[in-house]
Amino acid sequence: MIGTGRLEAFSDGVLAIIITIMVLEMRVPHQPTLAALRPMLPVLLSYVLSFVYLAIYWNNHHHMLHVAERVTASILWANLHLLFWLTLVPFVTAWMGENAFAAIPTALYGVVLLMAAIAYYLLQLAILSAEGRDSVLARALGRDLKGKISPVLYVGAIVAAPSRPWLADTIYVVVALMWLVPDRRIERALAEHRQTATGRRAT
Amino acid sequence: MIGTGRLEAFSDGVLAIIITIMVLEMRVPHQPTLAALRPMLPVLLSYVLSFVYLAIYWNNHHHMLHVAERVTASILWANLHLLFWLTLVPFVTAWMGENAFAAIPTALYGVVLLMAAIAYYLLQLAILSAEGRDSVLARALGRDLKGKISPVLYVGAIVAAPSRPWLADTIYVVVALMWLVPDRRIERALAEHRQTATGRRAT
Amino acid sequence: MIGTGRLEAFSDGVLAIIITIMVLEMRVPHQPTLAALRPMLPVLLSYVLSFVYLAIYWNNHHHMLHVAERVTASILWANLHLLFWLTLVPFVTAWMGENAFAAIPTALYGVVLLMAAIAYYLLQLAILSAEGRDSVLARALGRDLKGKISPVLYVGAIVAAPSRPWLADTIYVVVALMWLVPDRRIERALAEHRQTATGRRAT
Amino acid sequence: MIGTGRLEAFSDGVLAIIITIMVLEMRVPHQPTLAALRPMLPVLLSYVLSFVYLAIYWNNHHHMLHVAERVTASILWANLHLLFWLTLVPFVTAWMGENAFAAIPTALYGVVLLMAAIAYYLLQLAILSAEGRDSVLARALGRDLKGKISPVLYVGAIVAAPSRPWLADTIYVVVALMWLVPDRRIERALAEHRQTATGRRAT
């Protein structure tokens, strides 16, 4: 059975590559002028947005896997499913950036974010089902408000994008800011867990 | 001598990069319209297919190397040979996707899958020869039905591709689904092994 | 909480990818002649310069993180902020190289170096605030002359670039050479630390 | 001070990326025909050659670093210097392949191989100087025939390339085959070392 360490290392590798190759989609302008740089602004902005999203996924993904004690087949494939949607981020980022946040690319960007959020939720379910309802993760998640609100906001953005792309883009920024606050719930639950069960062996 | 851990880490790195750079072959359409997105569908489908194949290789490769206790020169080079064929996957995936599963690219895709399957089989032989016929891996593989049927199916697909590419593509999907079931044989044999030989030292 | 080991591994991964994909921006000339190779010279030179800068960052970043004993949320995001600016290096390197060190690309190159230097400084502050003013790092940095002079020199280069790009490029080379001397301060402080506090447990 | 483990991990990462992104230089043909695939043959051949060279470097590099017990500043920068030349391999591979092993690209390919060989030699010197003349590595290398013949053969190939590129290409293949035999000298010396000095503590 694959250890969590190995699953984390592979996921980290994929995330590090996704985050870095995105920059390859920023085509270098041919003229050495400030004017040639101006159309790069939306490309840069969409890159910043996706960089932040991937950083958040890397951070939260790590916190969640850290709590998992063993890797079942469902966890393995749920994790690969999540990575699949995240690998599409560079594609939609480039399409949205090169078209200056136009309606359809903005909507597709939301679709990929939505699918990644669903994939993350499925991964969470797979870990919960392996760890049990009384596990550290279960307590850490609590009502999991952010996890439940995000997909709803993405759906709203996808619906809004064709007529008001700027509204959709604002929603993406708001969701990112909402998640930027690191997920302290798991850390807190872990700390409590350690206090109440000091007799258990450390990993 | 190179440890299995290091060989796994290097292989994981290469696999993570292959899986991720494939997305760079998906050229971003210039128009921000749904119509511009439509020709991307076969590109996306071929990407999904290759993503699943590489995920299966990553999973099975890990299970197999996990059983190996030491890395001989034959294992080292058999592993590099396997990685070589897998690095060609992004190329044939892009060619097949951009030409909407046309006859010749579909046949070449099968050739790369076939060569990778043969390379995997040679790696298996190298490990078996180092570990011995009574090893955990030998018992885990048993008759190795899936490993023997896959190359036959690939050959069938390559032969069928020039006249009926859709049949070849169907075969690729069927083989992928057949392997999606994680290889529990090795895990089972390992579990039995642990039960019968509890006196042996753990790694 | 994310361990320093994991943060280092992720940062190393991103740095290794940045350093390597830069070479993908070097477009292969179409003609197989020496004449076709000549315009590649500035591209190669800008690549060498950025390779050295990224190697220096990798080296110093490691020394600094090595001293950190735990990763707070501020350290995590300060580190991601630094990586963000470093991922822009391939873009500005290619733009500067393809335009033979023209004025505007040279200035933008300096802006990215400046932002990375500021991000590095913020990361240093985050670690210092977590470790305390009496920490090994605090003593290791001392007056941190190089860290304070570099941003000033970058600002000078950015200002000089529009009228005298060659002066700006010279400054980039000088700063790189200044840093090439490995940061022995931290190693020395660590050595002293070990001597004076031999009773402390090793990690 | 950076541990050898970390230096190896970083070098492995860079080598894994170089080996994998080379395939991105293989431009996908636009027509789905066998005729469109034919001009890809030299591209594929040059890719195979470089894949083998990088695999050999990965293998030997590991064996050598494994023997090193500590990383000095000279080892660190000698290693980065080696990685620098190896990152140029994808560029010269693509140029040589796309021009069907033409004279000048073939010569430049040899220059990069030569520089990498010199960089490897310098790295060897840096490790020897840190480990001492009586070290395991010193005994393992012995007269280091292969290491001394290779640069001479590269120089011969570079000189031959302008008039007889096929001769230069043959030399590259011969040197690769010569190295394909894994470097058992270091393993042997290590084994002897372990026998004669069994009292020393294991790492």
More confident residue, A185 or C171: C171
- pLDDT tens across A16-33, in order? 999 998 998 888 998 999
- pLDDT tens across B100-125, in order? 999 999 999 999 999 999 999 999 99
Put simply, the answer to whether A32 touches C95 (Cβ < 8 Å) is yes
Is D18's Cβ below 8 Å from some Cβ in C? yes
Whether pTM exceeds 0.80: yes
Query: Quick one: pLDDT at residue D200?
Result: 45
The pLDDT confidence band at residue A192, using thresholds 50, 70 and 90, is low
Q: What is the mean pLDDT of chain B?
A: 86
Quick one: closest CA in C to D74, which residue?
C182
Q: Residues of chain B with pLDDT > 90: what percent?
A: 57
Is A8's Cβ below 8 Å from some Cβ in B? no
Is D59's Cβ below 8 Å from some Cβ in C? no
| Neighbouring chains to B with at least 3 Cβ pairs closer than 8 Å | A, D
- Within 10 A of A136 (CB to CB), how many other CB atoms are there? 20
- What's the full length of chain C, in residues? 203
Residues of B with Cβ-Cβ distance to D184 under 8 angstroms = 73
More confident residue, B91 or A9: B91
The pLDDT confidence band at residue C203, using thresholds 50, 70 and 90, is very low
Q: What is the mean pLDDT of chain A?
A: 86
Query: Average of pLDDT values for C78-92?
Result: 96
The pLDDT confidence band at residue B200, using thresholds 50, 70 and 90, is very low
Candidates C105, C73, C90; CA nearest to C14 is C90
- Within 10 A of D76 (CB to CB), how many other CB atoms are there? 21
User: What's the complex ipTM?
Assistant: 0.86
The pLDDT confidence band at residue B18, using thresholds 50, 70 and 90, is very high
DSSP for B88-147, written as a single string: THHHHHHHHHHTTS-HHHHHHHHHHHHHHHHHHHHHHHHHHHHH-TTSHHHHHHTT-HHH
Query: Quick one: pLDDT at residue D69?
Result: 78
Residues of D with Cβ-Cβ distance to C29 under 8 angstroms = 95
Orientation angle between helical segments C103-131 and C165-180, nearest 10 degrees: 30
Is C41's Cβ below 8 Å from some Cβ in D? no
Query: Quick one: pLDDT at residue C180?
Result: 83
Residues of B with Cβ-Cβ distance to D34 under 8 angstroms = 104
Angle D122-D125-D128 (CA atoms, 0-180°, nearest 5)?
155
When scoring B19, B74, B82, B84 by the number of chain D Cβ atoms within 10 A, the one with the most, hence best to mutate, is B84
Q: How far apart are CA A85 and CA A114, in angstroms?
A: 9
Query: Average of pLDDT values for D62-72?
Result: 82
The pLDDT confidence band at residue A130, using thresholds 50, 70 and 90, is confident
Residue with tokens 């596990």: A135
pLDDT for residue C199 is more than 50? no
- pLDDT tens across A161-190, in order? 999 999 999 999 999 998 886 555 555 666
Residues of D with Cβ-Cβ distance to B77 under 8 angstroms = 55, 180, 182
Query: Average of pLDDT values for D90-119?
Result: 96
- pLDDT tens across D176-201, in order? 998 886 555 655 666 666 566 554 44
Terminal C-alpha separation, chain D: 17
Q: Are C49 and C110 in contact (CB under 8 A)?
A: no
Query: Average of pLDDT values for B4-19?
Result: 89
Put simply, the answer to whether D105 touches C32 (Cβ < 8 Å) is yes
Query: Average of pLDDT values for C98-105?
Result: 96
Q: Which of A49-58, D24-33, D69-78, D133-142 has the highest mean pLDDT?
A: A49-58
Query: Quick one: pLDDT at residue A62?
Result: 83
Query: Quick one: pLDDT at residue B194?
Result: 59
- Quote the DSSP letter at residue D197: T
Question: In 3-state terms, what secondary structure has residue A71?
Answer: coil
Of A13, A80, A90, the CB nearest to B23: A90
Residues of A with Cβ-Cβ distance to B26 under 8 angstroms = 91
Is C191's Cβ below 8 Å from some Cβ in D? no
Query: Average of pLDDT values for A68-91?
Result: 92
Q: What is the mean pLDDT of chain C?
A: 86
The residue type found at D126 is A
Query: Quick one: pLDDT at residue A187?
Result: 57
- pLDDT tens across C19-76, in order? 998 998 888 998 999 999 998 999 999 999 999 999 999 988 988 887 787 888 889 9
Quick one: closest CA in D to C63, which residue?
D1
Q: What CA–CA distances, in Å, run from B172 to B52, B167, C99? A: 11, 9, 46
Put simply, the answer to whether A28 touches C95 (Cβ < 8 Å) is yes
Query: Quick one: pLDDT at residue B180?
Result: 83
Q: What CA–CA distances, in Å, run from B107 to B110, B148, D30, D118, D125? A: 5, 20, 16, 43, 50
Put simply, the answer to whether A182 touches C17 (Cβ < 8 Å) is no
The pLDDT confidence band at residue C131, using thresholds 50, 70 and 90, is confident
Put simply, the answer to whether C91 touches A21 (Cβ < 8 Å) is no
Residues of B with Cβ-Cβ distance to A102 under 8 angstroms = 32
| A126-140, A161-175, B123-137, D9-23: range with lowest mean pLDDT | A126-140
Q: How many CB pairs under 8 A join B and D?
A: 69
Query: Quick one: pLDDT at residue A90?
Result: 96
The residue type found at C60 is N
Is C59's Cβ below 8 Å from some Cβ in D? yes
Quick one: closest CA in D to B99, which residue?
D32
Q: Residues of chain A with pLDDT > 70: what percent?
A: 84
pLDDT for residue D58 is more than 50? yes
3-state secondary structure D110-176: HHHHHHHHHHHHHHHHHHHHHHCCCCHHHHHHCCCHHHHHHHHHHHHHHHHCCCCHHHHHHHHHHHH
Q: Are B109 and B40 in contact (CB under 8 A)?
A: no
Query: Quick one: pLDDT at residue C200?
Result: 45
Residue with tokens 């529009």: C162
Query: Quick one: pLDDT at residue B25?
Result: 85
Is B22's Cβ below 8 Å from some Cβ in D? no
pLDDT for residue D202 is more than 50? no
Quick one: closest CA in A to B65, which residue?
A2
Query: Quick one: pLDDT at residue A150?
Result: 94
Question: In 3-state terms, what secondary structure has residue D2?
Answer: coil
pLDDT for residue B140 is more than 60? yes
Non-local (6+) Cβ contacts of B199 within 8 A are none
Of B21, B24, B76, the CB nearest to D59: B76
Q: What is the mean pLDDT of chain D?
A: 86
